[in-house]
Amino acid sequence: MARPDLNLLVTLDVLLQEGSVTRAAERLALSPSAMSRALARLRRATGDPLLVRAGRGLVPTPRAVELRERVRGLVRDAEEVLRPAAGLDLAALERTFVLRGSDGFAERFGPELVAVVGAQAPGVRLWFVQKTAKDTGSLRGDGVDMETGVVEDALPPDVLSEPLFTDRFVGVVRSGHPLSTGRVTAARYLSARHVHVSRRDPAEGLVDEALRAEGRRREIAAAVGGFGAALALARASDLVATVPEHHTAGLRRGMRSFALPFRAPEVTVSLLWHARLDADPAHRWLRERVVGVCRRVIDLKAPAAVAAAELRD
């Protein structure tokens, strides 16, 4: 079956409004003969004469009367689809956004983000979900609106990103741990047993690469898939957790943090989203809020927190 010419809907809409081939032709900037040909095509498509002569004018058939409002609505909807989106009305916005992140993101940045979003768009709900795998596949579907993470490899062309902040690794131990008193030297750090965080390699990560560059090696006693699990183990044992400072500020409460006694690796945490959402006004607004909140929280709670917590002889 041949696909119908949808351009005829606009022609039919104007013909049914005007009830005149001549006036309809003027509105659409067509010649009367071209409009007459369009009417003939409409009659063949619908199987109805649509407009019939009555004296010197034309009157609609019952089928044309039945179609008039339906056609008007279809044309209005099509015009709405093909024009730029209206300005974003935050007060009326009703939407749930899914934000995927590693352990600690919701604890560190969630409270202020929820407050900022709630003040500007009370109908917006934020759903924080944990990042269990290092991939961007979930951004392509409808499950995740944006996520935070460290970009290690080149991103696919359909995934966009913006840097949020730079994070450095710090050491963390329980209160009362042997490393909780005195200056933490490289020798003391390496003499302890460690819990390693990795979703890929249970034997080595960025910290181990930094140590290897100096000809050193730490003893890994356990490996886990997230910062929260690493800190939970360190809180209940003599294991040392080495985690990103900013990302885990909330998770480290009540524990002792110290600057690493070697060149600490740094990572840049970025916000990622799919290109299909790049021009969406509501999504763009939330991206700006996430970027602003993350940078503001980092500025207010600067790395001096760890420097002040460093233990010295």
Greatest pairwise CA separation for the chain in angstroms:
108
Q: Are residues 67 and 163 in the same domain?
A: no
pLDDT tens column, 275-306: 989 989 999 999 999 999 999 988 865 444 43
Do the domain assignments include residue 278? Answer: yes
% of the chain at pLDDT higher than 90: 59
Are 203 and 296 in a shared domain? yes
Query: In this structure, is the dihedral angle defined by the CA atoms of residues 42, 47, 49 and 51, taken in order, positive or negative?
Result: negative
Q: Which of 27, 61, 81 is the last residue of a domain?
A: 81
Q: Which of 81, 101, 130 is the endpoint of a domain? A: 81
| 196 domain-assigned | yes
Chain centre distance of CA 46? 46
Quick one: pLDDT at residue 6? 84
- Label residue 305 exposed, middle or buried (CB < 10 Å: 0-12, 13-18, 19+): middle
Range of the domain at 220: 148-313
The Cα angle at residue 234 between residues 232 and 237, in degrees rounded to 5: 110
User: Tokens 């609106």 appear where?
Assistant: 145
**Percent of the chain surpassing pLDDT 70:** 92
**221: β partners:** none
Mean pLDDT for the chain overall = 87
Per-residue pLDDT tens digits for 27-81? 999 999 999 999 999 999 899 999 998 888 889 999 999 999 999 999 888 888 8
User: Does 107 map to a domain?
Assistant: no
Instruction: Give the closest residue to 20 by CA, choosing from 56, 73, 66.
Output: 56
Is residue 117 domain-resident? no
Same domain assignment for residues 156 and 234 = yes
* Domain at 43, CATH number: 1.10.10.10
CA dist., res. 199 & res. 226, Å (int): 8
Is 300 in the same domain as 199? yes
Q: What is the CATH number of the domain that holds 248?
A: 3.40.190.290
Highest mean pLDDT among 4-18, 81-95, 109-123, 193-207: 109-123
Tally of domains within the chain: 2
| Domain end residue (candidates: 49, 65, 81) | 81
Q: 241 and 164 in one domain? A: yes
Question: How far are the Cα atoms of 184, 236, 238, 310 from residue 176, in angstroms, in the given order?
Answer: 14, 11, 9, 15
Q: Do residue 60 and residue 193 come from a single domain?
A: no
Within this chain, do residues 164 and 289 fall inside the same structural domain, yes or no? yes
pTM for the structure as a whole: 0.69
> Rounded distance, CA 303 to CA 257, Å?
12
Q: Average the pLDDT over 133-160 and give the result.
A: 81
Q: 166 and 310 share a domain?
A: yes
What local confidence, expressed as pLDDT, does residue 86 receive?
A: 67
| SS3 call for 97 | strand
